Each structure stands twice: as C-alpha cells, then as structure tokens.
Amino acid sequence: MSPFEWSFPTKLTYGPGRLKEVGKIAAEYGKKAMIATYEKGSPLDPVIETVSASLKAAGVEVVLFTGIEPNPRAQTIDKAIEIFNTEKCDLVIALGGGSVIDGSKYIAATAFSGGKSWDYVVLGERTPREYTGAFPIISIPTISAAGSESNAGGVIQNAETNEKSFSRSPYRLPKVAIVDPEILKSVPRRLTQDSCLDIFSHLIEHYLSSQDESDFADRMTEAMILCLIDNLDKILEDLSDLEVRMQLALCSQFGWSGLQALGRLGSIPMHSIEMPLSAHYDLPHGKGMVIVMPAYLEYMSDALPHRWAKLARRCFGVTEQDDAIAAKLLPVKVKEWFKRTGSYLTLTDVGIPNDKFEQMAEDVVRMFPIKGTETTAGARPINKEDVINMYKLMA
C-alpha cells in the first residue's frame, strides 16, 4: 500500500423529501445564493422553483443563473462568475448533474480567487493558477453519475479551443450534498444507463491504473461494482424505484470520493482519452465513457494482467486461473454486460467519424503528458499511437 491522506468533509443530507431543507441549510452559509443550473424549459423547472422558494422562506436572497451546458463551457462559467461578483453573492447552490456541479465549483472558487475559470485547469506543461479559497457550495445532484457532489474535482471545456480539462482543489469541496431520490427518479432510461456506467468507469480507473496493492480499496471497489451491477438491472425494470435510486446515489458519491483508491491511488487514463470526444463533438461524458471503456480494457489487458484478472474473477464470474488469459476475458465480460443491459455504444452509433482520431490523440498526449513512473502514468505509459489504436477499436 502507498501512503495517503483522505477526508470526507461534505455533509450528506440524504433521503426522500430532503430537497425542501435547502433553505435552512443554506442560511448557515450565506445570505445571497446563486442557483446555478441548466437552461430553463426542462423537467427540472419545478425543482428550481422548489429550491428558490425554500431559500426565500429562509431569508436567503436568490440569483438564478441558467444555461450551464452538459459539457460546461469556461466562457459560460466566466459569465456566471461576473454575475456572482456583481450581485455580491456569497454562496452557490449547484442544481444539476456533474456538469453543473463541476461548473459551480469553478464559479465559487474563481469568484473568490480571481481570474478566469480556464486559468486553473491542467493543460500540458503549463503551471495552473492556484486557488486561494472559495465561496461555500451546496450541491444538489439531479442524476447519479459523476460523484461531483462530494469531491474536489471539476471538468470544464474551452469552446474557443475545443479543449477539455480538469482541476482539483480542497477549497471546492461542497459543504453539503442534498441527495433526494424524488428528483433522481425522473432521469430517463438511456441517461440512467450512461450514468451508471460512468460510475463504473470511476470505480475501475484507479483499480486498473496502479502498481500498488490495497486489498481494502479493492474490496470496497468490488462491493460497489457488484452493487452497481445488481441495481442497474433493477432500475431498468422500474425507473421510478426510489430505493434503487438511493443505492445508485451512494455508488456515485463514494465511487469517486477517494474511498475507492485508499492505499493505491492511480490515474485516470480512460477519462483523459474520453475528453477529446466531448470537446470536439460535444458528446455527453457518460456516453463517452460507455464507448471508451471496452476498447481501453481490451487494448490494455496485458499491461497489468494480475489486476485485470482479479477484477474479472471477483466481479464478473471468471474462473480462469491463468492471469494472462483471465485478463483478456475482462473486456469480453464487460462488453457482454453492456450489451445485456442495452448500454453498449460505438463511435459509429453516436455519429463520430474517424477523421479526427489523430488530432484527438495529439490532444491527449499534449494536454496530459506522462510524468514520473508507471505508477503515476497508469497501467503503463501510453503514446499517441496507442490512443489512435484505441479510438479505432471504438469505431
């Protein structure tokens, strides 16, 4: 095991009907809140009204910012930051999926620290600007996927350069996450599938990208994967099942909280490979991860065969004792699961041609250069040719 530090300071307010408590909770952190959310005109509109009413009833002034995109644009976030500062807000209510919550983190921290949101992201050899603090954030996830409601990460996109990147800062950890399955039950079938497999991508990124061994982290991750597999089947039978939605919500929160990586912190090569798909084609992140994972698992199965084999045996019923053979069965079993649940997708299915494979691969190696040892590089270092070959497997 490798040494680590971990904390989980976000308070979880969890259960049916908890949304109505947002006003009381927010009043502990500020007097004027910006509600950051998607464009109005969606099934989320009544939820926005509920949140606004609760805040006002608690004496908290409200500034509504709508228009955060599914792949949040830095340019949109900068507009929100300007309004936040002009209106002298002192709190952000992030109401939406991972994109809204990620964008809200940039609003809260950049409004406090100065500059533009894009100044703070990882971008090749550039040294990102560092935050000096952040205004409080209360996150209200409307989908179980990214786990952004209780972690420090955040991804945004530069619409001017077609680049997508991330940053992390403990200043941006939400103070409270309000998880109400009454909101989650409205998520449609295809989005539910994609979001569940996004959770899966978070669970396996570190599991399959570190040379270090941590049986504790392995067992925690495996338990969440098995819970996810069971409950994906259940939710596809009844999209309105609140109990199942609550189980998936916990997989989302703890699947990207650091709990799944204690003692063997790895890296996120699959997410890096997906980012150009979203940046160039505005593909929703969850859908992109559905496409990336089978190809990555197949192409990299010989990189850490003992890790691939362990996951195949413990979560997908593989009994083969030879690690090299068992490792190659993991992508087969994962693809079978995706197909059985009607979730499997290729680049062709979403209308993405092969004419930008080279450019997108160049973006990956330019924006996220490999540094240090294989431990920090993932299962093994990958180059531009590797990424192109994986894109070809996704076609």
Mark whether 42 and 63 lie in a shared domain. yes
Would you list the DSSP string of 44-93? THHHHHHHHHHHHHTT-EEEEE----SS-BHHHHHHHHHHHHHTT--EEE
227 and 110: one domain? no
- pLDDT score for 374: 38
Q: How confident is the model at residue 370 (pLDDT cuts 50, 70, 90)?
A: low
Per-residue pLDDT at 229 exceeds 50: yes
Which residues constitute the domain of residue 291?
A: 189-394
Q: Which two tokens stand for residue 75?
A: 């340019």
- Is pLDDT at 279 greater than 60 in this prediction? yes
Q: How far apart are CA 195 and CA 213, in angstroms?
A: 28
* Confidence (pLDDT) at 376: 41
233 domain residue, yes or no: yes
Residue 39, domain CATH: 3.40.50.1970
pLDDT at residue 357, rounded to an integer: 96
The answer to whether residues 210 and 104 belong to one domain is: no
For 281-308, write each residue's pLDDT tens digit.
999 999 999 999 999 999 999 999 999 9
The whole-number pLDDT of residue 346 equals: 98
The DSSP-derived string for 256-276 is: TSSGGGTT-----HHHHHHHH
For residue 126, list its beta bridge partners: 123
Residue 323 vs residue 125, higher pLDDT: 323
Confidence of residue 126 (pLDDT cuts 50, 70, 90): confident
Side by side, the strands of the sheet bearing 137-141 are: 11-14, 176-179, 137-141, 91-96, 32-36, 61-65
Percent of the chain at pLDDT exceeding 90: 90
As a whole number, mean pLDDT of residues 179-191 equals 95
Answer whether residue 196 shows pLDDT above 90: yes
Question: Which tokens is 312 given?
Answer: 């195949």
Domain at 317, CATH number? 1.20.1090.10
Residues 307, 378, 216: CA angle, nearest 5 degrees: 45
Q: In the predicted model, is pLDDT for residue 375 greater than 50?
A: no
Whether the per-residue pLDDT at 372 is higher than 60: the answer is no
Q: Look over the chain and give the mean of its residue pLDDT values, rounded to a whole number.
A: 95
Mean of pLDDT values over 40-59:
95
Q: Where does the chain show beta strands of DSSP type E?
A: 11-14, 32-36, 61-65, 91-96, 137-141, 153-158, 163-168, 176-179
Does the pLDDT value for residue 371 go beyond 60?
no
Same domain, 211 and 259: yes
